A = this chain, B = another copy of it.
Amino acid sequence: VTCIRDLKVRGAPLIGIAAALSLAQLAEQGATVPEIVEAASRLREARPTAVNLMAAVDRVVLKHRQDLTAQGIVARAEALFAEDVALCSGIAKHGSSLLADGDHVLTHCNTGGLATVGSGTALAVIAEAARAGKCIHVFVDETRPLLQGARLTAWELSKLEVPFTLICDNMAAFLMKQGKVQKVLVGCDRIACNGDFANKVGTYGLAVAAKYHRIPFYVAAPWTTVDLNCRSGEEIPIEERGPEEVRAGQSPRECAVYNPAFDVTPAELVTGFIFDRGVVAPRLIQEFLAGLG
């Protein structure tokens, strides 16, 4: 729980699988059924915005109260683990065809192999396009306050040998104005039934700027990021984190800070969702979701 809350494990899909595997480990260590259920309930509450955590805990433990043997829990956790790899591959395959040779793609936060078990979501799309021989340049938002872009995405792109340029979040709109960005590609933490979605704070501003500059804006996610219980973005709880993440060394001590970790972007600003099963326009999201049910 502490690892998830303190972001030692982060990235919506990875959080879910980490929770599943820790429940499997607990079961193997001989925990009783009430202990497992209590651990599952606590894990479920560790972070409020990404739906993958709740979904994973439910799929591994809470929806299987009749089978909470160690064997059953471990099997379901391992299935979830394997599934993530396949989901990432599907996203990469469907998304990469959207990227053209020579594209400059802007991304936010971290959505690569460090955020999932597999190859990632938005970053997997970019990696797959590059692997297919397309020349892609990535603009990496540093992603304040915790700098997941500057720390994690920049590191992953270096390893993948995909060329990139690091920018401050507040430079993205100016890059768009200069015609330097052909596509915006982000991951996501929860998608509501109407296509509104939550992602790392800063995503909404990017979506507004992309709309203003008529730049396609894509959201890459496994279908497990959809929350069928959530009608619209207004129902997605937004995690607010502590002020110390934002305050600079020379800020006045105790100064008030607003630090939402996520924001919600309405469906009308999305060009397409890149799911593991294919690319879906926001106006068709309802039909796509009906197919999941």
Max chain B Cβ within 10 angstroms of own Cβ: one of A143, A168, A246: A168
The answer to whether A230 has its CB under 8 Å from any CB of chain B is: no
Which residues 138-193 of A sit at the B interface, judged by CB distance below 8 A? 139, 141-145, 147, 150-151, 154-155, 158, 163-175, 177
Residues of B within 8 A of A248 (CB): 142, 147, 150-151
Instruction: Let me know if B171 and A263 touch, CB within 8 A.
Output: yes
Copies of this chain, whole number: 2
CA distance A255 to B246 in the complex (A): 24
Instruction: Let me know if B255 and A171 touch, CB within 8 A.
Output: no
CA distance A129 to B121 in the complex (A): 48
Instruction: Let me know if A255 and B158 touch, CB within 8 A.
Output: yes
Instruction: Let me know if A154 and B251 touch, CB within 8 A.
Output: yes
Instruction: Let me know if A204 and B166 touch, CB within 8 A.
Output: no
CB distance from A109 to the nearest CB of B (A): 10
CB distance from A291 to the nearest CB of B (A): 30
The answer to whether A208 has its CB under 8 Å from any CB of chain B is: yes
Instruction: Let me know if B201 and A205 touch, CB within 8 A.
Output: no
Contact with B along A255-283 (1 / 0, CB 8 A): 11111100110000000000000000000
CB distance from A204 to the nearest CB of B (A): 5
The answer to whether A229 has its CB under 8 Å from any CB of chain B is: no
CA distance A158 to B145 in the complex (A): 22
Instruction: Let me know if B165 and A258 touch, CB within 8 A.
Output: yes
Binding site for B on A (CB under 8 A): 139, 141-145, 147, 150-151, 154-155, 158, 163-175, 177, 201-202, 204-205, 208-209, 211-212, 243, 246-248, 250-252, 255-260, 263-264
Given contacts A171-B263, A205-B209, A212-B212, list 11 more A-B pairs with CB under 8 A: A144-B169, A147-B248, A150-B247, A151-B248, A165-B256, A166-B247, A168-B201, A173-B208, A177-B204, A208-B208, A208-B212
Q: Which 9 A-B pairs have the closest CB atoms?
A: A170-B202, A173-B205, A169-B170, A174-B263, A150-B248, A144-B168, A151-B250, A158-B252, A165-B256
